Amino acid sequence: MAARFIGLYQRTDSGPPLRSCKQLPDGQRSAAQTQHHIRVCNKAAAVLSGVLRMSQSVPGKLCWFLHFRVMLSNADEIIEMQMRNDSTDPRSGATFYQRYHTLEDIYDWINRTAKDYPNTVKVILVGSSHEKRPLYALKLSLNNRPNKKAMWIDCGIHAREWISPAFCLFFVHYSLLFYNQNQAMTQILDNMDVYVLPVMNPDGYKYTWTNDRMWRKNRFPKKGTPCIGVDLNRNFDANWCTRGASDYPCSEIYCGAFPESEPESQAVANFLRSHKDSIQIYLSIHSYSQMLLMPYSCTMDEAENHSELYEMVKQAAENIRRYYRNIYTYGPGAKTIYLAPGGSDDWAHMLGIKYSFTFELQDRGRYGFLLPPSHIQGACNEALTAVKTIALKVMEKSQASTSSRQTV
């Protein structure tokens, strides 16, 4: 049964963690920004990132009062509009990269892109999902220089963060179009190959288009519980399943049965392990909250190259602010967003990919995961600025170190 998503609600109390709840009466949909309280019983629900989500019924008789404020009373309409927008609406002047796309459209786009750029784009099958969907990465290789370094970018770990796959598509398009046009992009692509995985969680992404727009996890069915899905960004082997993750399968931050228990996270981990000598930069794209995060999220300890990483995210945020007048906060995940174990960026850093980051794209909560298509362009440009800033800085460092090695 499809979960009914009613609106965006922000909890204004500090009550118990919510596990059961009941649908809101329709009359409470309007009245934006006013306070409400309701009694909620016997429905699985979650309050995460300011979003109240109601899904399947759960046994038991748990009820409590929930205090909340309506953030977006017309969420249903917004969701419907964003899906309609996928088929080219002649009235909207939006191009392909200014819209959200179904999983099928993204697979078509991957094939088309590889066909259109046979000399520079290769499709790599890095694995497959629980429901046996392929995990395709694109390898962008703009010239054949020997011993090129590489950058990895993954999108769509979390199903509902639609701006993330949209960024991966935009990034590939921009790279192919602006190589030899944009100076920074040319320099970057001359020096490194880029692997782009547009949708790391295809089962979840598909599910957000068909059943539940607010779905986060993959679609692993846990035997013996009514609950589905592992949080792929809690499933990596970095202080796995300690504080900030949950071993309760119904939780939105369920860590899975063991590290890399999920085919999606295992596929990415295997690929990174076998390419760790060339991959210098790891980037994972999420939303929302406008943050440029660096290791660690899984401990309060500082990464051994903390100051180097901090300088990079700081400069990236400054550039975004200068060019787009938008604010991004930055720093180690544990201190900037929350303490959370099992994330891909921390794991990649521990593997030896020293320049490892997670970006949280637009916005800061107005639309949250329901970022309107008209904001895609701006969000992507900001993230691109951060990617360029970081990649150029890494190149500068490795060039400095190779030339100093040469002079010894």
Q: Look up residue 277 and give its DSSP letter.
A: T
Burial zone of 274 (CB within 10 Å; 0-12 exposed, 13-18 middle, 19+ buried): exposed
The separation between the first and the last C-alpha atoms of the chain, rounded to the nearest angstrom, is: 67
Strand 291-294, strand 329-332: pairing: parallel
Residue from 40, 340, 353, 390 that binds ligand 9B3 (CB under 6 A)? 340
Residue from 43, 53, 158, 393 that binds ligand 9B3 (CB under 6 A)? 158
Rounded distance between C-alpha atoms, residue 188 and residue 168, angstroms: 16
Per partner kind, with CB cut-offs from 5 to 8 A, the member of Zn ion, ligand 9B3, none near residue 7 is: none
Per partner kind, with CB cut-offs from 5 to 8 A, the member of ligand 9B3, Zn ion, none near residue 297 is: ligand 9B3
Q: How far is the CB of 153 from ligand 9B3 (least distance, A)?
A: 15
Q: Give the SS3 label for residue 267.
A: helix
Q: How far is the CB of 254 from Zn ion (least distance, A)?
A: 14
Q: How far is the CB of 216 from ligand 9B3 (least distance, A)?
A: 8
Q: Is 360 a catalytic residue?
A: yes
Residue from 342, 382, 389, 395 that binds ligand 9B3 (CB under 6 A)? 342
Q: How far is the CB of 173 from Zn ion (least distance, A)?
A: 22
- 267 close to 128: Cβ distance less than 8 angstroms: yes
393 in contact with Zn ion (CB under 5 A)? no
53 in contact with ligand 9B3 (CB under 6 A)? no
**Using CB under 6 A, which of the segments 72-80, 99-107, 343-351, 391-399 binds ligand 9B3?**
343-351
Residue from 141, 358, 362, 389 that binds ligand 9B3 (CB under 6 A)? 358
Strand 121-128, strand 134-140: pairing: antiparallel
Per partner kind, with CB cut-offs from 5 to 8 A, the member of Zn ion, ligand 9B3, none near residue 376 is: none
Of 261 and 398, CB closest to ligand 9B3 = 261
- 202 close to 103: Cβ distance less than 8 angstroms: yes
- 309 close to 349: Cβ distance less than 8 angstroms: no
Residue from 158, 160, 219, 354 that binds Zn ion (CB under 5 A)? 158
Tokens 């309506």 -> residue: 70
19 in contact with Zn ion (CB under 5 A)? no
Q: Which residues between 223 and 282 bind ligand 9B3 (CB under 6 A)?
A: 233
Strands of the 35-41 sheet, one edge to the other: 8-11, 63-72, 35-41
Nearest to 283 by CA among 408, 384, 142: 384
**Using CB under 6 A, which of the segments 74-82, 182-190, 204-212, 342-350 binds ligand 9B3?**
342-350
Q: How far is the CB of 241 from ligand 9B3 (least distance, A)?
A: 11
Rounded distance between C-alpha atoms, residue 137 and residue 121, angstroms: 10
346 in contact with ligand 9B3 (CB under 6 A)? yes
Alpha-carbon distances, residue 94 vs 97, 217, 375, 376 (angstroms)? 8, 29, 11, 10
Rounded distance between C-alpha atoms, residue 165 and residue 154, angstroms: 8
Q: Which residues pair with 10 in a beta bridge?
A: 69
43 in contact with ligand 9B3 (CB under 6 A)? no
Residue from 19, 217, 286, 349 that binds Zn ion (CB under 5 A)? 286
> Helix crossing, 163-178 with 376-407: angle to 10°?
60
- 305 close to 393: Cβ distance less than 8 angstroms: no
**Binding interface with ligand 9B3 (CB under 6 A):** 158, 233, 286, 293, 297, 333, 337, 340, 342-343, 345-346, 358, 360
Q: Please identify every residue annotated as catalytic.
A: 360
**Binding interface with Zn ion (CB under 5 A):** 158, 286
